[in-house]
Amino acid sequence: MSWFSRQKAPKPKLEDTSRVEIPEDTWTKCSGCSSLVYTKELRKNFGVCPQCDYHFRLKAQERIPILVDRHSFQEIGADIKPTDPLGFKDQKKYKDRLKAAEKKSNSSEAVITGRAKINKFPVLLGVFEFAFMGGSMGSVVGERLAQMIEVGIEEKTPVIIVSASGGARMQEGIFSLMQMAKVSAALGKLGQARVPYISVLTHPTTGGVAASFAMLGDVNLAEPGALIGFAGPRVIEQTIRQKLPKGFQTSEFLLEHGMVDRIVHRLNLREEISLILSNFGFGN
């Protein structure tokens, strides 16, 4: 059907986090300014609205080529696959949820790790895939990140983690919560080895991920308008029974209160990271 014969403009399916991935329709309604954007133009602009700079969520496989030098990414840890240690079942078996998540996201887990170069700087890069069970952190996520960090320690290579997560994965219980300590401990050793860690916070970075390694960067960068915090604003309001300040838990609010070091536009992130690495004394 031609676009001009539609009765209504196509509407993206909004999630609880009010951020959507780029849909396949001809036109996309921007959640930031409500204008209609030609989807091909939106993709060409790396998921950033050309009218208001609203940052749509990107899949990990879309973000990696934007961030790293062409053909430089080499995945590591892909052989570590999720299991069902608790035999968990709610409305569906956890094993079935894993299969559905892999099919939906085209990824075997909620994080992809590997070696890469950013403007010729060698780095170890971990990028979260929110489409895989909300980017939730299970035992495999923790193990992939910890192993990547250990490689960084051995090879004296900077580590970058791009977070987009709803937090710990409840289907793995304590096994999931243990990953907070494991990854944080690995980052502690990385710091002792005097190797930098840059944390990039995108929408959303919440729960156990925000409460651990996402906020432990030597430099914490954030995308504009990202939701960053432990519990969501709605949960906090219901708990304390008070109205929260405008923009609470956005990256702009956290920058104002000293929780992040800088807000960086997606199109400038590669250059920003390479500048930081050069200031840390890493040659390319």
What does the pLDDT look like over 116-132, one tens digit per residue? 999 999 999 999 999 99
Please state, as a whole number, how many other Cβ atoms lie within 10 Å of the Cβ of residue 57: 22
| pLDDT tens, residue by residue, 69-119 | 999 999 999 999 999 999 999 999 999 999 999 999 999 999 999 999 999
CA distance 231 to 146: 25
| pLDDT tens, residue by residue, 130-145 | 999 999 999 999 999 9
Sign of CA pseudo-dihedral 51, 55, 56, 61: positive
What pLDDT score does 166 carry?
94
| pLDDT tens, residue by residue, 174-199 | 999 999 999 999 999 999 999 999 99
What pLDDT score does 246 carry?
86
Buried (b) or exposed (e) across 139-148, using 16+ Cβ within 10 A? Answer: bbbbbbbbbb
Buried (b) or exposed (e) across 157-177, using 16+ Cβ within 10 A? Answer: bbbbbbbbbbbbbebbeebbb
Per-domain boundaries in the chain:
10-56, 57-279
What pLDDT score does 282 carry?
80
> DSSP 3-state assignment of 244?
coil
What pLDDT score does 276 carry?
97
| pLDDT tens, residue by residue, 229-250 | 998 888 899 999 999 888 899 9
Determine which helix (DSSP H) or strand (DSSP E) holds 139, and give its type and residue range: helix 139-155
What pLDDT score does 24 carry?
64
pLDDT greater at residue 99 or residue 26: 99
- The topology (CATH level 3) of 57-279 is 2-enoyl-CoA Hydratase; Chain A, domain 1 (3.90.226)
CA distance 207 to 153: 27
- Given a cut of 80, is residue 13 above it in pLDDT? no
The percentage of the chain sitting over the pLDDT mark of 70, rounded to a whole number, equals 90
pLDDT (mean) for 195-205: 97
